[in-house]
Amino acid sequence: MTKKKLIAANWKMYKNPAQTREFFREFLPLVADHTRDEIVVCPPYIDLCAAVEETKGSNVGVGAQDLHWEKEGAYTGEISRSMLLDIGCTHVIIGHSERRQYFGETDDVVNLKLKAALEAGLTPIVCVGEVTEDVLRRQCLRAFHAVSSKKAGRLVVAYEPVWAIGTGKTATPQLASDAHIVIRGEAAKAFGQEFADKLRILYGGSVKPENAKALMSEEEIDGALVGGASLDPKSFATIVKY
């Protein structure tokens, strides 16, 4: 089944609002005619308003890199689903391996955040990507826990093998495909085969202009989550147009 691929940028902790505006002024004209793929950029929180303003009326969506699972409350430093929606975000990354590794984010927290994002109508990009297959399966199982197929509608999963993130080492298209089949299998168990067939599973980990085409040509790979190579407008545009 051919699905519209999603090419998403994860800027991590890079760029301020002025640099964000500068990026879009260069990037948008480069992809203005591009309709084949869905394009989303996820900058740091403080850049979201600038990103939404700059991309208004364009073919590029804006997402956050995280959210809190509660609607509101005394949670210093956190951002809620409605705050993201109110400023015009459409997507949100959940459970990135850097959040799991450096900020102690657990599978249960990922599950809470996923439910919060789905409830709000945001498109969650849930990241998984451990080295071993059983851990990968567990990450999926726990992330999808108690989410019904009806509610999971917008779910997107990103497979990001930890060893490939920011290392310049990319999974071969075959290796990524194999992992995507495992993830799709877990999605089928949780949500049914029909849902799993439609689920978009992105690959992330050192995606670059040079390897994007080979990865995106794989039947099992439904898009990319791009870190370092998404910070430069020309480089990200080349990836988008693989």
Q: Which of 38, 68, 91, 96 is catalytic?
A: 96
List, in sequence order, every residue forming a beta bridge with 6; answer none if it has no partner.
Answer: 38, 223
Q: Is residue 160 annotated as part of the catalytic site, yes or no? A: yes
CB of 206 to ligand 13P, least distance (A): 4
Cβ-based nearer residue to ligand 13P, 191 or 209 = 209
How many whole angstroms separate alpha carbon 74 and alpha carbon 189?
37
Residues 95-124 that bind ligand 13P (CB under 6 A): 96
What track of x and - describes contact with ligand 13P for positions 191 through 220 (by CB under 6 A)?
-------------xxxx-------------
DSSP code per residue over the chain: -----EEEEE--S---HHHHHHHHHHHHHHHTT--SSEEEEE--GGGHHHHHHHHTTSSEEEEES---SSSSSS-TT---HHHHHHHT--EEEES-HHHHHHS---HHHHHHHHHHHHHHT-EEEEEE--SSHHHHHHHHHHHTTT--TTTTTT-EEEE--GGGTTSS----HHHHHHHHHHHHHHHHHHH-HHHHHH-EEEEESS--TTTHHHHHTSTT--EEEESGGGSSHHHHHHHHT-
> Which part of the chain contacts ligand 13P (CB under 6 A), choosing from 23-31, 109-117, 130-138, 227-235?
227-235
CB burial readout 21-34, b (16+ within 10 A) else e: bebbeebbeebeee
Q: Does the protein bind ligand 13P through residue 225 (CB under 6 A)?
A: yes
CB of 72 to ligand 13P, least distance (A): 27
Cβ-based nearer residue to ligand 13P, 109 or 231 = 231
The residue at minimum Cβ distance from ligand 13P is 227
Cβ-based nearer residue to ligand 13P, 61 or 227 = 227
List, in sequence order, every residue forming a beta bridge with 156; answer none if it has no partner.
Answer: 125, 200
Q: Does the protein bind ligand 13P through residue 10 (CB under 6 A)?
A: yes
How many whole angstroms separate alpha carbon 156 and alpha carbon 231?
22
CB of 129 to ligand 13P, least distance (A): 9
Q: Is residue 145 annotated as part of the catalytic site, yes or no? A: no
Q: Which of 38, 160, 180, 186 is catalytic?
A: 160
> Which part of the chain contacts ligand 13P (CB under 6 A), choosing from 18-26, 77-85, 140-148, 222-230?
222-230
CB of 112 to ligand 13P, least distance (A): 20
> Which part of the chain contacts ligand 13P (CB under 6 A), choosing from 21-29, 84-92, 183-191, 223-231?
223-231
Residues 123-182 that bind ligand 13P (CB under 6 A): 160, 165-166
Catalytic residues, by residue number, are 96, 160
* Site residues, ligand 13P (CB under 6 A): 10, 96, 160, 165-166, 204-207, 225-229
